[in-house]
């Protein structure tokens, strides 16, 4: 984490008083970073510092830098040592997690959790999930779709009883999107290309087992499709072909798309 000087211990009364002075945007940032676990400065700016509230992109960027610096100063957020995009990314490449005071403010009954510098694989995957949320949020603001439900981990997990006993399905996200008169429901798997194909198919079979349990259909009347969001067309072809060749999987349950086309796929293929 950032090696900036740490503040002295903050009492519960000080945490409560600090929360009273936070604005709506501050709280929205803290809640979203807490929900997604990690976000880059560029991702936070894209959601919370739009041009609607600023004269130009430079002004929005400066405002984001000021607010994030203040939230880090007050231990509401922490800034990781590792940047994304390298030094050339500048402050936009900084990555943030919920800080110790932020944890106490948002989750006072959970106790304090130690904050560790994440492994590079976890960092990359978590930021890829966060980027998809950013893209969906921006799509909703443009009128392309409506976000009806967005559940990150662990809220999107589904416990069920399968043929082998108790199990838990663990998607990266659950999304319900409104597009026109249609509702599109999705379980999302964000793939970084570093899982073996047998592991990917094993995850697909977990979705099939959950489908066979009937629990989601009983609760909502429909089973979501599963969207694999992958980095490139080569990876997409390999996963799609493996799913089609697997006799135990229902091909129609799964969609594989590259990250650049993910929003269109999730919106039902709309342009």
Q: Token digits for 23?
A: 């604005």
pLDDT value of position 3: 45
Rounded-to-5 percentages of helix, strand, coil across the chain? 50, 20, 30
φ, ψ of residue 227 in degrees (nearest 5): -110, 120
Q: Compute the distance between CA of residue 39 and CA of residue 77 in angstroms, rounded to an integer.
A: 11
List the domains of the chain with CATH numbers: 12-118 (1.10.10.10), 125-266 (3.40.1350)
pLDDT value of position 247: 81
| 5 pLDDT higher than 80 | no
Using pLDDT thresholds of 50, 70 and 90, give the confidence band for residue 115: confident
Can you tell me the mean pLDDT for 190-213? 96
- Residue 22 CB burial class (10 angstroms; 0-12, 13-18, ≥19): middle
Q: Compute the distance between CA of residue 175 and CA of residue 167 in angstroms, rounded to an integer.
A: 21
The pTM (predicted TM-score) of the whole model is 0.90
pLDDT above 70 coverage of the chain, percent: 92
What are the tens digits of pLDDT across the range 137-163?
A: 999 998 889 999 999 999 999 999 988
What are the tens digits of pLDDT across the range 70-114?
A: 999 999 999 998 877 655 556 778 999 999 999 999 988 776 667
pLDDT value of position 116: 77
Radius of gyration for the alpha carbons in the chain, expressed in angstroms and rounded: 20
CA of 250: how far to CAs of 165, 177, 226, in Å?
A: 22, 23, 11
| 269 pLDDT higher than 80 | no
What are the tens digits of pLDDT across the range 6-54?
A: 556 788 888 888 888 999 999 999 999 999 999 999 999 999 998 776 6
Q: Compute the distance between CA of residue 140 and CA of residue 270 in angstroms, rounded to an integer.
A: 13
Using pLDDT thresholds of 50, 70 and 90, give the confidence band for residue 125: very high
pLDDT value of position 239: 97
| 2 pLDDT higher than 60 | no
pLDDT value of position 138: 93
Q: Compute the distance between CA of residue 183 and CA of residue 185 in angstroms, rounded to an integer.
A: 6
pLDDT value of position 87: 55
pLDDT value of position 271: 34
pLDDT above 90 coverage of the chain, percent: 72
| 168 pLDDT higher than 80 | yes
Q: Helix 57-73 vs helix 24-36: angle between axes, to the nearest 10 degrees?
A: 70
Picking from 186, 250, 177, the residue whose alpha carbon sits closest to that of residue 212 is: 250
| 267 pLDDT higher than 80 | yes
pLDDT value of position 270: 43
Q: Compute the distance between CA of residue 145 and CA of residue 182 in angstroms, rounded to an integer.
A: 10
Among 5-14, 211-220, 221-230, which stretch is predicted with the lowest mean pLDDT? 5-14
């Amino acid at each position: 984490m950032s090696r900036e000087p740490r503040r002295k211990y903050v009492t519960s009364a000080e945490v409560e008083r600090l929360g009273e002075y936070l604005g709506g945007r501050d709280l929205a940032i803290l809640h979203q970073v807490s929900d997604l676990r990690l976000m880059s400065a560029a991702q936070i700016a894209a959601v919370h510092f739009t041009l609607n509230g600023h004269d130009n992109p430079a002004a929005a960027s400066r405002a984001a830098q000021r607010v994030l610096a203040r939230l880090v100063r007050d231990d509401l957020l922490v800034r990781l040592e590792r940047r994304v995009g390298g030094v050339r990314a500048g402050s936009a490449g900084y990555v943030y997690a919920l800080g110790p005071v932020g944890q106490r403010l948002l989750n006072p009954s959970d106790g304090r959790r130690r904050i560790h510098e994440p492994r590079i694989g976890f960092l990359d995957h978590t930021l890829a999930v966060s980027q998809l949320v950013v893209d969906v949020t921006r799509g909703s603001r443009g009128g392309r779709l409506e976000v009806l439900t967005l559940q990150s981990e662990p809220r999107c997990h589904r416990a069920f009883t399968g043929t082998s006993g108790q199990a838990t399905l663990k998607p990266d996200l659950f999304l319900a999107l409104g597009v026109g008169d249609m509702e599109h429901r999705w379980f999302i798997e964000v793939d970084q290309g570093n899982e073996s194909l047998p592991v990917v198919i094993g995850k697909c079979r977990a979705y099939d087992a959950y489908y066979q349990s009937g629990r989601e259909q009983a609760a909502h009347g429909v089973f979501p499709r599963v969207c694999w969001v992958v980095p490139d067309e080569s990876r997409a072809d390999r996963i799609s072909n493996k799913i089609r060749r697997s006799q135990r999987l229902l091909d129609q349950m799964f969609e594989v798309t590259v990250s650049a086309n993910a929003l269109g796929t999730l919106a039902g293929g709309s342009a």
